[in-house]
Structure 1
């Protein structure tokens, strides 16, 4: 199956919604609102990077990256997520391809770094690690990880865009 990673196009929104919904349908530790979050980020113009994975003309994965605010005022940091792969295409390297492409896109844009909330066992292989100086309130610190592109990790409380509170269609 040839895989293409490309930037989201306006006509991709419905397919991205469906892939995201399916990817998180049976996932533990989720509010099952990820598809609404992606839509809200798009609607608010907060998708710094939005990439799809396409196989044989069908979208089988998506990654969203949006700006985050750090209480110290450090600019240029972003949050990765949600990242989704269609259940029937999982464990085939698509998520890793999306991760690598998203990190390269951020570096190409001159971003300072990226944070995410997720499984340390998975995301550590991409260089993410807990940073004691970066805090996402009410989240166990081992699941909130960062990757600095310039070697400097800021300190402060991280805030995601209000779109992350989306709970349904808007």
Structure 2
């Protein structure tokens, strides 16, 4: 498997993969593919990584800048993460996340924030803190991983591309 930055000609394959990956997920509102497209159209994809096996895209992860207390900084949001259903639970998503986090560190990012399962993302070192908020998201599901500097505190704002319906 190879992990690399997406190429312009990958956009349709990423869209289809993301739709397929979230098709039967109960908590999904089926907006993930549109979110990736909106972030790409706005030039807001800081990192958009694909996993290829035998030349075929089998996974994708997006990272985009977030604001804390309305202020831009060096914090990035992780997501969506998509893996072809037949390839799930084989380490592709983990590899994409590890690679992306390594690239963010190399960019001297302060850290990464996400909305997701504490049981899954704690394996990467993500944690939650009551001093960090995102709307009415239940405690524990807004998580962060600090690379340098202090832990984030306050209200997180993701790019408007996440507000697709």
Instruction: Give the TM bin, normalised by the shorter chain.
Output: over 0.9
1:13-24 equivalences under 5 Å are 13-24=11-22
Q: Deviation digits for residues 95-151 of structure 1, max 9, x if unmatched?
A: 000010010011111110000011111100000011221111110021110000015
Alignment-derived partner of residue 82 in structure 2? 84
Number of equivalenced pairs: 165
Matched with 1:123 is 121
Which ranges of structure 2 fall in alignment gaps of 5 or more residues?
none
Contact 1:60 1:86 in 2 (8 A): yes
Q: Show the counterpart of 2:50.
A: 52
Q: How far, CA to CA, are the matches of 2:75 and 2:129 in structure 1?
A: 14
Q: Does 1:163 align with 2:158?
A: no
TM value normalised by structure 1? 0.94
Corresponding residue number in structure 1 for 2:2: 4
Q: Distance in 2 between matches of 1:51 and 1:41?
A: 13
Deviation at 1:74, TM superposition (A): 6.3
Is 1:135 matched with 2:133?
A: yes
CA contact (8 A) 2:66 2:72 kept: no
Give structure 1 regions of 4+ aligned residues with deviation exceeding 4 angstroms.
none
Do the aligned residues in 2 keep the contact of 1:131 with 1:153 (CA within 8 Å)? no
Aligned equivalent of 2:146: 148
Q: Distance in 2 between matches of 1:116 and 1:39?
A: 18
2:2 is paired with a residue of what secondary structure? Answer: strand
